[in-house]
Each structure stands twice: as C-alpha cells, then as structure tokens.
Structure 1
Amino acid sequence: MSYTFSRRDFMKYSAVAAVAVAGSSMFTGCGSFSNPNRPFGTYNKEADCKLTFSGKSGGFLGIGGTQDYLVLNKGGSYTSSSGTLNLEFTHYPISEGTGITAPHYQLKYVTDDGNHYVTSADGSLTSTGGDGLEINKEAHAKVTVTIPTNVKADVEKAKAVYIQYFPRHNALGKDNDTYGDVYATWDITSLFKPTT
C-alpha cells in the first residue's frame, strides 16, 4: 500500500485543514468567523471578549510567532441616567504604529434610518490610552462615552449598538480619517437593555 499524496490531494486536504482551523474560532470565546481585518464579537459583561486581527510576528512563516489580540474586558457598564458608557480594553499589538487614544474608537448605533456614530470629535468619547504602542506589550485603555442628550433615546432604543476600534489612525494625517478597512467590532447592545 502506498502512502504518497498527489499534488491535487495535498492541496485539497490543506484547504480542508485551513477551513477547519479558521472555523474553530466560531466555537471559542466571543468571536465569530469573519474577515481577519474586521474581527467581530458579541460582548457579555460577565466575560472578557477577545478578538484578533490574525496577525503574527516572528517565528518561521508565522508558525510559532506572537499573535496580536484585542480584549474588551468584562465589567463594562452603561448608566442611563447620565448617558455614560464605561469600557476597558487590553490591546497587544505586534506591529508598529498602533494607538488607543480616543480617535481610535467610535460608538456605532443602528436605527431604522441607518447607521449613526458617537466619536471623539465633539468630546463625547474619551480614552486614557496613548499612541505609539510598544509591540509585543500589553496596553490598557479606559474608554468613556457620554452619549449626547439629543441622541440618547435613539441609542437606548437602537436595533444594535457597537464599539469599534481602529488600530491605525490618521492615514492621511486628519483626525477624521482612519485606515477604515481594518477594525474590530464588539456588539455591546446587551449593555443598553434593562436586565429582567
């Protein structure tokens, strides 16, 4: 009996293995199978929600390298009376040029008439984090969103509410410009729903 593989068999089984490994992320943590440049997770305030851009640094062809990660830490809260959302993040970058200042985050909420955002542009969103994160070292940020009074009711009744993180900001050196094709999203709708 021969144990040789044809090139076609090798490619077929390699593809199956790659899909199996990628698909396994659907069953762990809060993440779901998605575009590696746009990881997505559903947050539960009782547990950390860890995502990754699937980037690796070091090792041989990425094998044995260091994996990046982005964590929305457990314990997030929203206080309706003040319209204040408090979240804590842990970031572990593996490439230069990332940051966790306020412009790297935005609150996105979805209503019947489309997507809307609360950003740092008017001071509604603040962060304790900095820019120029050191690679292969954890960085922490506390993000506070004070939802403007004129949209507070819309956010609280929204179909969905998300917090988004853009690792590299100011692609063109402007505060309102990001590398918009790479970002992480956490569904935080549960923080805005009253517990029963």
Structure 2
Amino acid sequence: MGTIMRYINSALTRTAAVAAAGTVGVVLSGGTGAAAVDATNSIVDQQGRTVQAIEADTRIDFVPPLDGNPLTREWFHSGKACFHVDVPAGDPWTGHITMGYQVGYPATLSGKISFQYQTPGLELEIGNDAKADVFNLIPTLGIQLDVGFGPGIQSVDATGGDVSGTDGCITMSGFHGTVTGVLGTTTIRPFVRLVSSSGDTVVTYGPLSSI
C-alpha cells in the first residue's frame, strides 16, 4: 500500500505543477474488463512469454477548428491502452507502455505544419500484482515541423510509463490535438506500443478516423 500511496502523491505533485495537465486518478483493477477491444497484437519474447498490447474503447471526435482556419484540423482522443503478459507465478516482467497516434495528410500549403497537443485526464488501472511508475504527462506541446509538401505521416506519443506485472490499462480521456497547415483529408490512426525491459516490442493499431 505504501508503494501505491507514493505513486499517488508523486503523480499529484507533478500534475499540480503543470497547469494544462488535468486530473490524475488511480484505480486498482485487472485487465480490460468490460472494455470494447478495438485492436490487439502479441509477440513471444526472448523468455518464451506471450506479451500482448491491447487498444480498447477508442474514440476520436473531430470538431470544427476553434481558429476558423480551413487549414486546421482539431480533434479529441479518448481510449484505453492495455497490456497482458502470460508469465509463470513469481516470474517478474517489466516494460514500458505508450499510447499515441499517427497523423496522415495528403499535402501542406507551405511545406510546414504546426502541431498543438494538450494533456487530458488520465487514469491508471493495474492488476493486483502490477506496479507503475509515474506516467509521463505531456502538458501543452506546440511545435512547427518542416515536412515538405506531402503526403506525410507524423507520429505522436500522447502518454506512457513504466509498468510491471501481468496486466493493466491506462485510460486517456479528452486528449486535445490540432494540426495547422494541411490540405485535404487528415487521418488519425491510434496505436498502443509495449516494449519489454529486454527490448521486445509489440505495437497494435486502432481504427482509422478521417476528416
């Protein structure tokens, strides 16, 4: 229980220091539960353990851009990034889970695009034998990229952290993203990436959303 309380205190301290971070909560539960699984992928690692990345409850809502610019796309992203590892009793497993998405576009007006992301509310669900370090919350990120005139794809890591145990989920709600400078249809493809401490990597991709 002391480990969990240290996690909560540390997470709340970090969140309070970041104005755009929203709220962080911890929920102890196991696996995906009643979540609607959108995509899953698995590998067998170097020790013969099955490591599974799971994406569930994915929802991407495009909204009219607040700046009124016809070259701007704006959206909100919610969903779950989960993991499951088949390990013998007492056999430790540690890794890093990341939730994010790819943004695809057919062309740009000037060869440059601007991205803006804002951290949502975040919850962590872990099994009884699982542990998690403080997740890396992205507060507000604004960047301009020289990407050429397109087409192109950019990847965004929304949130993630170190995990251990046999199963668990992070739940992201209301991740806010905008991209400015794109022409034509913009497509969002969410993903969950799971990397074990030994470097074994599995990625699963969720359903496409376009505007």
Q: Same fold (TM over 0.5)?
A: no
| TM-score, with length taken from structure 2 | 0.32
Structure with more of its chain in strand, by fraction: 2
Structure with more of its chain in helix, by fraction: 1
| TM-score, with length taken from structure 1 | 0.34
Structure possessing the higher relative contact order (Cα contacts under 8 Å, 6 or more residues apart): 2
